Structure 1
Amino acid sequence: MRCRRRALLAVAVCLLLGLWWSLRVSTFGLRLPPSLPTVRCAVGANVSAWFAARYDAAVGPLLTGPAHELSPDVVRWWLTLQGPPGVVPLQDVMQKLFAVLPAPNGSAWVPSQCRTCAVVGNSGRLKGSRHGLQIDAHHWVLRMNRAKTAGFEVDVGTRTTHHFMYPESAMNLWPGVHLVLIPFKPLDLKWVTSAFSTGELTHTYTRVKQFIKADRNKVLILSPAFLKYIHENWTERHGRYPSTGFTALLFALHACQQVSVFGFGADSKGNWHHYWEENRWSGAFRRTRVHDADVEFSLIQRLADEGRILFYQ
């Protein structure tokens, strides 16, 4: 009789644990491993004058429809980012884009009561960090460009919910991951349309992927107005336009209640390189004239000092 009671108790415990575990599902249905530490939303920080002067909740990160949603000043700025403006039929470009890819579902964008996001940069400082479990514990895990996880799981984690890229840095994604396109030029919109349909566009200023493997129902396009907002309000026109990493961080600030930042800045020896590469291009990020790495890093530090983000160094 005692053995039977123990067996029934064990079964009940297993059922309760199974029910509890089935509820540990992220926003997009990705289950978190049981060994992950708990990440809770931080208590909202006081809004400083510095933050209030820069953050504008009214600026939506996503491109959602026709070209007329972009103001003339946004279009003028956007068209000059990577070359002479020329004449671009934006209405036609966007009409073809949203004929191939569905416009984002507004219900998926409504901020949750508590959404935690990990923004994972590609800095060599992630090597040896052992942040993998902490990264994977967040609801959303944002990665960018050619970020790799295979072979680096202990330091960078395994999960990805949003992958930020542009045509020249594009890579195939696992099913269920959001491809977040940062369009630095109208040709980028043409590329993503082509990459999910005809494959006719194979070159921008270099060779790009003809087709891309990703979930077309989860593609998100950042709005040029959002890029201009970051350029003017945050980096204050330092550099030609914001980097992919800093753009992903601002996206997280607008979408998440807690933002944790990993893998930004130089490594412990002051070198700037990707965590999956040997240190062959030390200082390459800092030398570029397109982005101002020092200004962006100082902004990340200021956001951390003010309690707006958690910055893991």
Structure 2
Amino acid sequence: MRVQFKMLIALLAVTTIGVFLTASYSGWIELKMPSSCRCEKCFSEEDVFLNQHLNRSIEPFLSATTKLTEDEYNWWRHLQRNRHNFNYFKATLDKLFKIISPTPVLEKSKTEGCRTCAVVGNSVNLKGSRYGPLIDFQDIVIRINQGPTKGFEEDVGSRTTHRVMYPESGSVLDNSTHLVMFIFKIRDLEWLLGSFLTGTSGKPVNPRANKDLVMVLNPAFMKYVHQKWLGKKGKYPSTGFMTLISALHICDEVHAFGFGADSNGSWSHYWQPMKSKKFKTGNHPGKQEYAAIDKLANENTIYFYKGN
């Protein structure tokens, strides 16, 4: 009888630990292994272009347990000529993950098994589009850099659940918005770490967002997008394109807005007057990125709203 009682206690202990671990890591497990899609249009074997390029084994965002290789780090380091070695990078990450959540966190979708995402770019083609209500309707609304909503709600919506940024495009977020940090150099990590370091009062010195809602792009994911999706064209992918590809990894249904030029060929932003008709996409392979987005749309893998 005593043996049976001890076995029962041991079984209960194992079950309790299992439940705890499942609850603790469910957010990241959901990122890597999405539940069965229940959307009207789900990713499938019919999405030829997607399946030729998508690699779900690549983690889009870093966690405390991410195994980044030194080769992947060296590819990323040379983008901005970082002088710090791999050990310094890992030590900086270790400090950061003692402050922010050790695993990226996503909210649950309104409909179980169907997480819908709006990826909102900054193209001038959003002006007069009246996409605002459709953007706000999605579970997750990801905005890029400093793209504003105030005064443009009718065209771009008012909700923001995730804001992609790096120091040069940084802004202070409210307590409910995820800071999605795109790191291009070691100083970007140091900047983020410095945002949450505490002073003598015990409070962060220069808080940028809720420390529990921070997500950091994986340098290996940046390399994967550049090589697999863009065939090594350009120096590195644009922030907008990497955001869109990351959405394919974390969402069941993707709606893309504000990408590409307008009908007159302008690459300006929707909140700024056009500075020059000769404005190009810099180090980013704009034509290849737009062609990839267009291909995903033509195969009905994503919903692509081209605006005006």
Please indicate the TM-score interval, normalised by the length of the shorter structure.
Answer: 0.7 to 0.9
CA distance in 2, matches of 1:136, 1:98: 31
Instruction: Say whether residues 1:184 and 2:184 are aligned partners.
Output: yes
Q: What is the SS of the residue equivalent to 1:69?
A: coil
Contact 2:141–2:161, Cα closer than 8 Å, also in 1: yes
Residue 102 of structure 2 corresponds to residue 98 of structure 1: no
Contact 2:133 2:154 in 1 (8 A): yes
Q: What residue in structure 2 maps to residue 136 of structure 1?
A: 136
- Higher mean Cα deviation, 118-127 or 263-272? 263-272
Size of the alignment, in residue pairs?
262
How many angstroms does 1:84 deviate by? 5.0
In structure 1, the partner of 2:217 is 222
With normalisation by structure 2, the TM-score equals: 0.79
Alignment counterpart, residue 77 of structure 2, candidates 76, 79, 90: 79
| Match in the other structure for 2:59 | 60
Deviation of residue 100 (structure 1)? 2.3
Change (3 A) 1:104 1:84: closer
SS in 1 for 2:255: strand
Gap change, CA 1:161 and 1:285, over 3 Å in 2:
farther
Render the CA deviation track for 1:109-140: whole Å, top value 9, x for unaligned: 99950011010000000000000001001000
Identical columns (%): 40
Contact 1:162 1:179 in 2 (8 A): yes
Alpha-carbon RMSD: 2.3
The letter of the residue matching 1:50 is: F
Contact 1:260 1:311 in 2 (8 A): yes
Specify the alignment match of 1:125 in structure 2: 125
Change (3 A) 1:135 1:49: closer
Aligned partner (choices 68, 71, 75) of residue 70 of structure 1: 68
SS in 2 for 1:100: coil
For residues 186 and 108 of structure 2, what CA distance do their matches in structure 1 show? Answer: 24
- Is residue 2:249 matched to residue 1:254? yes
Q: After superposition, where does 1:205-220 map in structure 2 within 5 Å? A: 211-220=206-215
Distance 1:175 1:281, change over 3 A: farther
Between the aligned partners of 1:56 and 1:164, the Cα distance in structure 2 is: 22
Unaligned runs of 5+ in 2: 1-26, 28-38, 200-204
Relative to the length of structure 1, the TM-score reads: 0.78
Task: Report the counterpart of residue 170 of structure 2 in structure 1.
Answer: 170
Answer yes or no: is 1:293 the counterpart of 2:286. Answer: yes
CA distance in 2, matches of 1:53, 1:44: 13
Q: State whether residues 136 and 159 of structure 1, in contact with CA within 8 Å, keep that contact through their aligned partners in structure 2.
A: yes
Superposed CA deviations along residues 41-74 of structure 1, whole A, max 9, x for unmatched, are 42444434433221011111110015x7101220
Q: C-alpha deviations, 1:227-286, integer Å up to 9, x for none?
A: 111111101111111111001101110111110000101112111111000001434343
For residues 187 and 109 of structure 1, what CA distance do their matches in structure 2 show? 33
Amino acid at match of 1:62: F
Residues 212, 274 of structure 1: CA spacing in aligned structure 2 closer, same or farther, 3 A cutoff? farther
Query: What is the aligned counterpart of 1:238 among 227, 233, 245?
Result: 233
Structure 2 counterpart of 1:159, one-letter code: R
